[in-house]
Each structure stands twice: as C-alpha cells, then as structure tokens.
Structure 1
Amino acid sequence: MNANVQVRPDQQDPRQVVWAVVASDIGPLLLAATDDGLVSVGFHATDAVRDKALERLGSRLGAEPLHAPDSPLLAEPIRQLAAYFAGERRDFELPLDWSLISGFNRQVLRELTTVPYGAVVGYGDLAQRVGQPRAAQAVGMAMGANPLPVVVPCHRVVESDGGIGGFGGGLETKRQLLALEGVLPQPLF
C-alpha cells in the first residue's frame, strides 16, 4: 500500500475534487479523489446517500465535488478496485489523500494498511501496534471514521473473541470482503 501523501503547503487553496459511482461486488461505491490522491470510498451509493456524502465531502474539503467518471484522478483507483474484486489484486498501490482524518485515527488507519490481504487483526492488537494498548474502543471508532474503506482495509479488524465486529458498510459487506480474501468461507448464495 502506498501511504506516501504529499501535503499541500496551503490547505486554504480550493482543491479539485472529482467523483464517480462504480459498480462492485458489494454494491455501488462512491469514489472521490483530489490532486493528492483517493480521498473517499463510500458504500451504498444510492442517489440520496451519494448526494449527502458529496455535500459533506465538499464542505470538509472546501470544494464542490465534480462528477468526472473519466477523470485521470479516478482511473487507477477504479482499475485497482475492479482487479481486487476480481481476485486479481491483493494490495492497493494508490496515492491517498489523508486530509479527512487526523491524529490518533490517522495513526491507526496508517498502521492498518500494513495488515496483509487474507489476514485479520483484533481491535486490541491494533491498539497495541500503535502504542495505545488500552485504546481498543478508540480503534473501533477510528474504523468507523475510515474515509477509505476497502483500500484502507478496516474490514480486516475483528473482535478478540472471534466475533466479526462492526462495519460501516454493514456486516454482510464485511463478510463478503473477508470471504473474498479467504478469511471466511464463501457465501452459499
């Protein structure tokens, strides 16, 4: 995973934000990118969900998101996600724009990018890995705040007792992603 992010010297400057909705095995995904990289992946990209997400994204980034499914900023994320869902890619090599997340959450999510395809880590284990062994619950909150699910694989974080844990895209989506990676048996349907 490419976690190198170039920070713009003047975050006050308006940024270009482009978006597209792409089909996937887990339903439509809303992808958004800036000149710095992929900034957001959203689940259940129905019109109402999409519109609300874009409004929130534009507000947080200080730019009106532009529908641009053919943008070069989205071409590689779309290609790599399609290859991931086809079982042809295990790691994402994309520039990421981390500007929607900071502090502890950013530290946890960056560490999460080191959890390999087909592996899982417990909330407490991930807290330990970032030097905060008592912060398992805060790790769960960081997973819920992840603006880049699938690419920053919060679906790979599970409960220490073997439970699947929560997931912003829904538990069935989490099961599908874990099954794709061989962690869970493939669904029968």
Structure 2
Amino acid sequence: MLYFDQMDTPYGTAAATIEDDGALVEFTFLNGVMANLWSHDAKALPAPGRLTHVFEQVDQFFASTRRDFDLVLRPRGTPFQQRVWQALCDIPFGTTIHYQELARRTGDEKAMRAVGAANGKNPIALIIPCHRVIGKNGSLTGYGGGLPLKRALLDFEIPKAQPDLL
C-alpha cells in the first residue's frame, strides 16, 4: 500500500509518498512545473500523520539542524536511473557538480545526456539532491521545481556549508 501527504516548507508546499514500511518513493515541491506534473500513484491513500518521519527530517533540514537525510529511499526507475540517483546522494551538502562529473561517477563520462535525463526524472527531490547538479560553466540548468527554486535551495545550502566564502 502507498500513502501520501503534504507539508509546508519555506519554499512552498511539498508532497510525499511512502510505502507500508515507511520507505519514501516520492517527494516533490508543488510549484513550478511540478505543480502540474505531480500525480501520486492512484492507489496511494491520503495519510495525515503517517509521514511524520519524512516531514520531521525535512523540517530539520530547513532549520539547519540536519544536512543529511536518514530515510529509507525506494525511488522507482530503471537500473541506470537508480545508479544516477545513488550518485546524487553522494554529493555533499552545500556543494555542486556538473553533469559530466555526475556521468563519470556513474561509470560513463560520455553519458551526460542520459544522466541529465535521469536527473530530471528524480522522484525524490531535495532528499536525492538533484538541485546540486549545474552546468559545466557554472550555470543553473533545468530543475523540475523551476530554476528559482533550484537557486533558492543552493543559496540556502552553500553559505551554511562554506561560510568562509562570504
């Protein structure tokens, strides 16, 4: 069985879906492009209070008392997408990498487009930190929640991780 609920964050409403055992299968901000695309599994039941373990960690993240999430993640995707999403989880808080580096970390430096596509299909935004991937020239590139949200998330993280840069 799947369960879903929504929460307020400093960057708008977010929605999450979990399995019976509490494993997170989806987390998305309901703004930008994602507001029109989010469609939790039709079999998911609304479950106020059942996703507390997820929402508490997201609240802690935005309160700057947590940098890494300690959740069981079960995103649905192809084996290649799973590899990309795992590589995303290895990008430290407050740092960014470019798509070519992400491709290298997944084992094929030339697969930048495929890596970009997998990055764009990440069903667990923020927690699988796809917002930390930028263009090789340092430019912001696509983000399901919109580039303003991507910029806001990076602006939130980077000063906390690298205060000496300010």
**TM-score, normalization: structure 1?**
0.78
Determine the structure 2 residue equivalent to 1:38. Answer: 24
For 1:40-79, what aligned pairs fall within 5 Å after superposition? 40-44=26-30, 49=35, 53-54=39-40, 57-58=41-42, 64-71=43-50, 74-79=51-56
Q: Is the contact between residue 17 and residue 32 of structure 1 (CA under 8 Å) also seen in structure 2?
A: yes
- Percent same amino acid at aligned positions? 34
Q: Deviations over 1:88-137 (max 9, x none)?
A: 11000000113x11221110111110110011111000101111110111
Structure 1 pair 51–180 and aligned structure 2 pair: CA distance change class (3 A):
closer
Q: Does 1:114 align with 2:99?
A: no
Runs of 4+, deviation exceeding 3 Å: 49-52
Determine the structure 1 residue equivalent to 2:67. Answer: 90
Determine the C-alpha separation between the residues in 1 that align with 2:96 and 2:159. 8
Structure 1 pair 52–172 and aligned structure 2 pair: CA distance change class (3 A):
closer
SS of residue paired to 1:23: strand
Q: Is the contact between residue 29 and residue 42 of structure 1 (CA under 8 Å) also seen in structure 2?
A: yes
Structure 1 gaps, min length 5: 1-15, 59-63, 185-189
Determine the C-alpha separation between the residues in 2 that align with 1:51 and 1:164. 21
Identify, as 1 or 2, the structure richer in strand. Answer: 2
Determine the C-alpha separation between the residues in 1 that align with 2:65 and 2:8. 17
SS of residue paired to 1:28: strand
Equivalent residues, number: 158
2:24 alignment partner AA: L
For 1:8-19, what aligned pairs fall within 5 Å after superposition? 16-19=1-4
Determine the C-alpha separation between the residues in 2 that align with 1:132 and 1:88. 35
Offset of residue 35 of structure 1: 2.5
Structure 1 pair 79–105 and aligned structure 2 pair: CA distance change class (3 A):
same
Determine the C-alpha separation between the residues in 2 that align with 1:45 and 1:127. 28
Q: Is the contact between residue 31 and residue 145 of structure 2 (CA under 8 Å) also seen in structure 1?
A: no
Offset of residue 45 of structure 1: 6.3
Structure 1 pair 118–52 and aligned structure 2 pair: CA distance change class (3 A):
closer
Q: Is the contact between residue 28 and residue 38 of structure 2 (CA under 8 Å) also seen in structure 1?
A: no
Determine the C-alpha separation between the residues in 2 that align with 1:29 and 1:172. 16
2:127 alignment partner AA: V
Determine the structure 1 residue equivalent to 2:12. Answer: 27
Structure 1 pair 120–158 and aligned structure 2 pair: CA distance change class (3 A):
same
RMSD over aligned Cα atoms: 2.1
Q: Is the contact between residue 87 and residue 180 of structure 1 (CA under 8 Å) also seen in structure 2?
A: no
Q: Is the contact between residue 119 and residue 183 of structure 1 (CA under 8 Å) also seen in structure 2?
A: no
Structure 2 gaps, min length 5: 161-166
